[in-house]
């Protein structure tokens, strides 16, 4: 092996980087445990506010290698919603309301009819809402132009009565897209307020939807309210500190008394900069009345500046870690009474960092008579980023007539003073007014970057049109269910790993120890890379991906070891056998892993949420397992050869286990075709009679996981909920192994088309009301999920296309790699065979087995992974078949015999890999927990079916196809050409009966060196 030193250095670098990135996870977990211990009361309860204050106090403080707690938290390998609880939401910006705003809220019945038609069509179409609306309007009002609706004063400069329908369509699409972008920006700002770590906010491409994941969020109602509320843009006057100096002085006195009450004044030593801050605080309060002594004034100023830091002569700020305390102080009734009745406070949307790496958030004191801003964002007609005369970035905005009048009065009263522009009660900017502004056109200049002016223009336009958002998908996981999932995941991973490690050693002996070392290195690198990739979180399907990676990573070592055993059986020296074994295994290893990698990329492309977590783990696991098997295993084996040692690749009972195998896979292929066709046929009948158990994400509706104090029958729950939900819901056991379980999953379509903000609360109240009727068995909702009908349809469509894409990609790869349609046909038939068999099993046994067999996103992820695994197995077999066909040129053997010999030669690898993968999936099925039981069952059945199809479907299809090609008569003037065997090969094609009679004789040839001549 060349470049050993380089490989050792690379391995060391990866190991050090893995340790570095994983260390952030351990440090973060340790600090959170300290926070929990600090907030735990004597009774064992946890004071969540006290815990949060502990974390806030360290949020901007260096805690590890110069990194603040915020930076440590951002770099940790976070846990997904299913492992720690939290909330997953998909918001959809409502384009119908945007069009209504663009049309000036017209009451035209044709307009409203077209809107309704477009909303109905959107449930089954992937076209944009604007296109659907335009088509519907032309249908209901064929003689009218779109410009008659949208050429309003608000759209002046963009549309006129002479605008064509094409121009109007373009403008409408631009405005809707812009509104969606603004909504995304606003949602991002709102999510920052939740204070959760590893929050994920992203736009879903090609849709008006935004995905939000908030791990650890524990107040769903507050989140719903903040995410779906309309954006509120306001313009407010700003109080100068001198104008509220009496209140500022009173605030300092209040803080001083608060300090004394906590006996903190006696222990607090003034910092080096306190005197200066106290002097500034005294200046800020210099206009206050009172007869306090200088000492009292200094003490008051010191108490004030310990919490409120002077930013400038007219503004205060607060250290980010102290904002929670500042909010509590300013909302205290005693403090509120110190300031004018029309004064409110708002925080700046972003702070600044001091020289000592501490972040300060400025605070503004605003005038809002009666709690109402003098001017709101509904008067804005347009806003854009531009450049002033000096070439500096600026923002321009236009107002309607009403806004222009109010804006002129507001600016005239505040010349030389700032006016704050707020969005959702956060100050985005507070520019100084230079002079009265009339006409409604203004420009905002300052030390802005181009990106800042673009953001500010978006903020100003947020008030122009209503762009309300609707929750079309929602999933809430309780912390209890999450902690149970963590335990289940850890147990299943450890048990699965130990079983595989033991199995490999039992089968391969001392060589198995080397494979185990490579497997452990693989797992370590996998976790290290996951921790290093920003935004990666560990989910329950991700743990399933790790467990599956454990099984699949054994495959590469098995391929290598089996090849080395073949080389040793040919009498080669140990060193040469290792070199040739690795070289001959590369083709199978790379081909099999590339097919699985392709399906992993398709999962990344189409998957969302938990399935994406599984795909990330799977893709990373493929790369790390290849690195460990090919390089780490080779380094260890080469160290044996260099020291003159040899190594056994089997133990007594496995030495000749598959050596003399002579199974007849090919001649009885018609029987296997009949078996598979029968299962698929029964599945079709089952689908026609009872269909599938569709999950809520494919049929729409709401589902709730409910835990009872005692086991309960699903019929009792169904009967209790039938009246409150207007019909019997679907009730299944969840996590149990029998008819009765203490957890059930309830699925209902009750009020799913109701978009009102209170609909979720109403349905949950109905469920709780029905459950309360069950006496003597208290129930609590542990998690919930909601999927609207539109997104359910989109998920079905994307699932369908993802399966077709996976089939097309794998077929293309097989065709390119093996250069014969026969292999492509075999792979294609095997893929469809596996998909249809799994679907048949899930339909036939749905409602019979004591766990859920719903077809949902997790099932589609499992199905795509099964396809990848099946191709992994099939490609390894095809690789050996191709090798045998090439070696058989010039020999008088039939295709059936050659291929049967190839299948027998790979039987050891197929059995070991299949068994090791099935072992970890059995562990995952038994210990992985209720949230993933259906997923792991699909994977387990898929591995069995995939192994079966590789041997009894895919390869027999190759036999039939090659035999048919061979039997085709040649036309006059042409010469028959057979790539795999010589010209007299046609005369030697055996029927199944002839094959059976000569199988033993042919097998003797398979055992000679002629099967695979030495390549040394």
Arithmetic mean of pLDDT, 281-289 = 41
Q: Give φ, ψ of 422 to 5 degrees.
A: -115, 145
Q: With bands split at pLDDT 50, 70 and 90, how would you rate the model's confidence at 808?
A: confident
Arithmetic mean of pLDDT, 64-81 = 82
Arithmetic mean of pLDDT, 67-88 = 79
pLDDT at 1010 over 70: no
Q: With bands split at pLDDT 50, 70 and 90, how would you rate the model's confidence at 472?
A: confident
pLDDT at 281 over 50: no
Closest CA to 648 of 514, 544, 745: 514
Q: With bands split at pLDDT 50, 70 and 90, how would you rate the model's confidence at 624?
A: very high
Name the architecture of domain 375-465.
2-Layer Sandwich (3.30)
**Which residues, other chains included, contact 141 with Cβ-Cβ below 8 Å and sequence gap of 6+?**
110, 114
Residue 564, token pair as written in the block: 């080395």
pLDDT at 806 over 60: yes
Arithmetic mean of pLDDT, 538-554 = 74
pLDDT at 823 over 70: yes
DSSP structure string for 87-130 = EEEEEEE-HHHHHHHHTTS---HHHHHHHHHHHHHHTT--S-HH
Q: With bands split at pLDDT 50, 70 and 90, how would you rate the model's confidence at 274?
A: very low
Residue 1012: the pLDDT is 35
Q: With bands split at pLDDT 50, 70 and 90, how would you rate the model's confidence at 684?
A: very high
- How crowded is residue 40: how many other Cβ atoms within 10 Å of its Cβ? 14
pLDDT at 610 over 70: no
Span 189-199, pLDDT tens digits: 777 666 565 67
pLDDT at 528 over 60: yes
Residue 657: the pLDDT is 77
3-state secondary structure of 745: strand
Ranked by mean pLDDT, which of 80-84, 253-257, 540-544 comes out on top? 253-257
Q: Which residue has the higher pLDDT, 483 or 542?
A: 542
- How crowded is residue 776: how many other Cβ atoms within 10 Å of its Cβ? 6
Q: What is the 3-state secondary structure (H, E, C) of 538-550?
A: ECHHHHHHHHHHH
Span 369-385, pLDDT tens digits: 888 899 988 888 888 88
Domain ranges for the chain, please list them. Answer: 4-76, 108-188, 239-363, 375-465, 478-649+667-679+795-1006, 701-787
| Distance (Å, whole) CA 115 – CA 136 | 8
pLDDT at 831 over 80: yes
Span 219-252, pLDDT tens digits: 677 677 777 766 778 899 999 998 999 999 888 8
Q: What is the rounded radius of gyration, in angstroms, for the C-alpha atoms of the chain?
A: 35
Rounded to the nearest integer, the mean pLDDT of the chain is 79
| Distance (Å, whole) CA 744 – CA 706 | 5
Span 333-350, pLDDT tens digits: 899 999 999 999 999 888
Q: Which residue has the higher pLDDT, 797 or 901?
A: 901
Residue 701, token pair as written in the block: 């509706």
Q: Which residue has the higher pLDDT, 944 or 643?
A: 944
Residue 836: the pLDDT is 92
Fold of 701-787: Alpha-Beta Plaits (3.30.70)
β-pairing, 426-429 vs 343-348, is parallel
Q: With bands split at pLDDT 50, 70 and 90, how would you rate the model's confidence at 464?
A: low
Q: With bands split at pLDDT 50, 70 and 90, how would you rate the model's confidence at 881?
A: confident
Residue 922: the pLDDT is 86
**Which residues, other chains included, contact 1010 with Cβ-Cβ below 8 Å and sequence gap of 6+?**
887, 891
Q: Which residue has the higher pLDDT, 766 or 299?
A: 766
Q: Which residue has the higher pLDDT, 492 or 691?
A: 691
Residue 1009: the pLDDT is 33
Q: Which residue has the higher pLDDT, 409 or 935?
A: 409
Q: Which residue has the higher pLDDT, 722 or 296?
A: 722
Q: With bands split at pLDDT 50, 70 and 90, how would you rate the model's confidence at 412?
A: very high
pLDDT at 681 over 90: yes
pLDDT at 99 over 50: yes
Residue 20: the pLDDT is 94
201-210, 570-579, 664-673, 937-946: range with lowest mean pLDDT: 201-210
| Distance (Å, whole) CA 76 – CA 74 | 6
pTM greater than 0.75 (yes/no): no
| Distance (Å, whole) CA 229 – CA 208 | 17
Place of tokens 């695994």: 869
**Which residues, other chains included, contact 449 with Cβ-Cβ below 8 Å and sequence gap of 6+?**
393
Q: With bands split at pLDDT 50, 70 and 90, how would you rate the model's confidence at 676?
A: very high
pLDDT at 325 over 80: yes
Q: With bands split at pLDDT 50, 70 and 90, how would you rate the model's confidence at 466?
A: low
Arithmetic mean of pLDDT, 818-833 = 87
Residue 218: the pLDDT is 66
pLDDT at 364 over 80: yes
Q: Which residue has the higher pLDDT, 433 or 104?
A: 433
DSSP 1007: T
pLDDT at 996 over 60: no
Residue 969: the pLDDT is 53
Q: With bands split at pLDDT 50, 70 and 90, how would you rate the model's confidence at 264?
A: very low
Arithmetic mean of pLDDT, 107-113 = 89
Q: How many helices (H) and strands (E) does the chain have?
A: 35, 24
Residue 102: the pLDDT is 83
Residue 27: the pLDDT is 92
Question: CA of 275: how far to CAs of 245, 279, 310, in Å?
Answer: 19, 6, 13
| Distance (Å, whole) CA 750 – CA 797 | 24
pLDDT at 772 over 80: yes
Structural contact between residues 179 and 93, judged by C-beta atoms closer than 8 angstroms: yes
12-21, 128-137, 893-902: range with lowest mean pLDDT: 893-902
pLDDT at 977 over 60: no
| Distance (Å, whole) CA 279 – CA 275 | 6
Question: CA of 541: how far to CAs of 82, 265, 497, 618, 935, in Å?
Answer: 9, 53, 16, 10, 8
Q: With bands split at pLDDT 50, 70 and 90, how would you rate the model's confidence at 992?
A: very low
DSSP 607: -
Residue 936: the pLDDT is 80
pLDDT at 162 over 90: no
Structural contact between residues 809 and 603, judged by C-beta atoms closer than 8 angstroms: no
For residues 362-373, b (16+ Cβ closer than 10 Å) or e, as one string? bbbbbbbeeeeb
């Amino acid at each position: 092996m060349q470049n050993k030193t380089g490989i050792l250095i690379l391995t060391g670098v990866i190991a050090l980087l893995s340790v570095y990135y994983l260390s952030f996870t351990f440090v973060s977990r340790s600090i959170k445990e300290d926070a929990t211990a600090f907030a735990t009361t004597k009774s064992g309860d946890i004071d969540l506010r006290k815990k949060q204050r502990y974390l806030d106090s360290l949020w901007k403080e260096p805690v590890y290698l110069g990194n603040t707690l915020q930076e440590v938290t951002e770099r940790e390998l976070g846990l997904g919603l299913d492992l720690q609880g939290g909330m997953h939401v998909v918001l959809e910006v409502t384009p119908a309301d945007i069009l209504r705003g663009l049309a000036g809220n017209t009451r035209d019945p044709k307009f409203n009819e077209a809107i309704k038609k477009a909303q109905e069509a959107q449930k089954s179409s992937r076209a944009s809402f604007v296109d659907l609306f335009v088509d519907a309007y032309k249908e209901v009002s064929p003689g009218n132009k779109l410009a008659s609706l949208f050429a309003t004063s608000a759209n002046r400069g963009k549309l006129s009565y002479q605008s064509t329908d094409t121009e109007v369509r373009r403008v409408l699409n631009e405005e809707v897209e812009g509104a969606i972008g603004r909504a995304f920006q606003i949602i991002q700002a709102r999510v920052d307020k939740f204070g959760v770590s590893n929050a994920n906010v992203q736009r879903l491409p090609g849709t008006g939807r935004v995905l939000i994941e908030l791990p650890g969020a524990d107040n769903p109602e507050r989140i719903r309210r903040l995410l779906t509320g309309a954006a509120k843009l306001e313009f407010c006057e700003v109080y100068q500190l001198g104008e509220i100096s009496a209140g500022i002085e009173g605030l300092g006195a209040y803080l001083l008394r608060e300090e004394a009450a906590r006996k903190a004044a006696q222990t607090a030593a003034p910092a080096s900069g306190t005197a200066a801050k106290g002097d500034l605080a005294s200046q800020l309060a210099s206009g206050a009345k009172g007869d306090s002594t200088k000492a009292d004034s200094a003490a008051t100023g010191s108490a004030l500046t310990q919490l409120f830091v002077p930013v400038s002569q007219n503004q205060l700020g607060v250290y980010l870690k102290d904002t929670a305390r500042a909010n509590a102080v300013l909302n205290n009734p005693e403090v509120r009474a110190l300031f004018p009745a029309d004064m409110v406070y708002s925080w700046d949307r972003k702070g600044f960092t001091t020289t000592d790496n501490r972040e300060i958030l400025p605070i503004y004191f605003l005038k809002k008579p009666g709690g109402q801003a003098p001017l709101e964002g509904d008067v804005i007609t347009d806003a854009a980023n531009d450049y002033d005369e000096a070439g500096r970035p600026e923002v321009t905005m236009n107002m309607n007539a009403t806004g222009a009048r109010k804006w002129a009065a507001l600016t005239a009263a505040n010349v030389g003073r700032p006016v704050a522009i707020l969005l959702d009660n956060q100050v985005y900017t507070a520019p100084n007014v230079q002079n009265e502004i009339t006409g409604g056109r203004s420009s905002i200049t300052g030390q802005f970057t181009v990106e800042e002016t673009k953001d500010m223009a978006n903020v100003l336009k947020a008030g122009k049109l209503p762009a309300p958002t609707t929750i079309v998908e929602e999933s809430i996981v309780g912390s209890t269910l999450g902690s149970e999932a963590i335990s289940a995941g850890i147990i299943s991973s450890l048990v699965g790993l130990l079983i595989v490690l033991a199995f490999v050693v039992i089968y391969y002996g001392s060589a198995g120890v080397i494979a185990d070392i490579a497997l452990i290195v693989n797992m370590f690198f996998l976790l290290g890379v996951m921790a290093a990739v920003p935004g990666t979180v560990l989910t329950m399907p991700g743990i399933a991906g790790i467990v599956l990676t454990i099984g699949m990573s054994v495959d590469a070592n098995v391929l290598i070891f089996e090849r080395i055993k073949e080389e040793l059986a040919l009498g080669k020296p140990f060193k040469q056998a290792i070199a040739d074994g690795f070289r001959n295994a590369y083709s199978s290893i790379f081909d099999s892993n590339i097919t699985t990698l392709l399906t992993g990329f398709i999962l990344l492309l189409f998957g969302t949420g938990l399935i994406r977590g599984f795909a990330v783990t799977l893709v990373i696991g493929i790369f790390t397992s290849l690195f460990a098997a090919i390089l780490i295993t080779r380094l260890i084996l080469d160290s044996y050869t260099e020291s003159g040692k040899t190594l056994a690749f089997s133990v007594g009972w496995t030495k000749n286990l598959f050596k003399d195998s002579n199974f007849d896979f090919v001649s009885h292929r018609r029987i296997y075709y009949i078996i598979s066709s029968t299962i698929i046929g029964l599945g079709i009948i089952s689908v026609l009679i009872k269909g599938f158990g569709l999950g809520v994400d494919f049929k729409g509706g709401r589902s709730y996981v409910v835990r009872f104090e005692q086991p309960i029958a699903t019929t009792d729950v169904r009967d209790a909920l039938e009246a409150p939900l207007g019909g019997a819901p679907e009730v299944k056991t969840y996590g149990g192994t029998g008819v009765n379980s203490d957890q059930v999953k309830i699925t209902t379509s009750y009020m799913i088309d109701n978009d009102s903000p209170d609909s979720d609360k109403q349905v949950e109240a109905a469920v709780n009301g029905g459950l309360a009727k069950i006496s003597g068995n208290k129930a609590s909702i542990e998690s919930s999920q909601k999927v609207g009908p539109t997104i359910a349809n989109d998920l079905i469509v994307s699932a369908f296309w993802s399966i077709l894409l996976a089939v097309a990609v794998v077929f293309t790869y097989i065709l390119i790699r093996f250069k014969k349609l026969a292999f492509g046909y075999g792979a294609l038939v095997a893929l469809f065979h596996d998909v249809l068999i799994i679907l048949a099993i899930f339909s036939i046994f749905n409602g019979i087995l004591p766990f859920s067999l719903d077809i949902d996103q997790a099932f589609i992820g499992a199905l795509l992974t099964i396809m990848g695994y099946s191709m992994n197995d099939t490609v390894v077999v095809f690789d050996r078949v191709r090798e045998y066909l090439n070696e058989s040129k010039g020999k008088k053997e039939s295709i059936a015999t050659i291929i049967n010999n190839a299948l027998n030669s790979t039987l050891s690898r197929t059995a070991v890999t299949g068994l090791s993968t099935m072992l970890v999936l059995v562990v995952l099925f038994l210990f992985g927990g209720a949230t993933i039981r259906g997923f792991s069952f699909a994977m387990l059945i898929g591995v069995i079916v995939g192994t079966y199809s590789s041997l009894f479907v895919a390869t027999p299809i190759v036999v039939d196809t090659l035999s048919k090609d061979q039997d085709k008569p040649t036309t006059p003037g042409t010469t028959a050409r057979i790539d795999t065997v010589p010209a007299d090969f046609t005369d030697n094609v055996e029927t199944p009966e002839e094959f059976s009679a000569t199988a033993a004789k042919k097998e003797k040839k398979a055992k000679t060196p002629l099967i695979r001549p030495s390549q040394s």
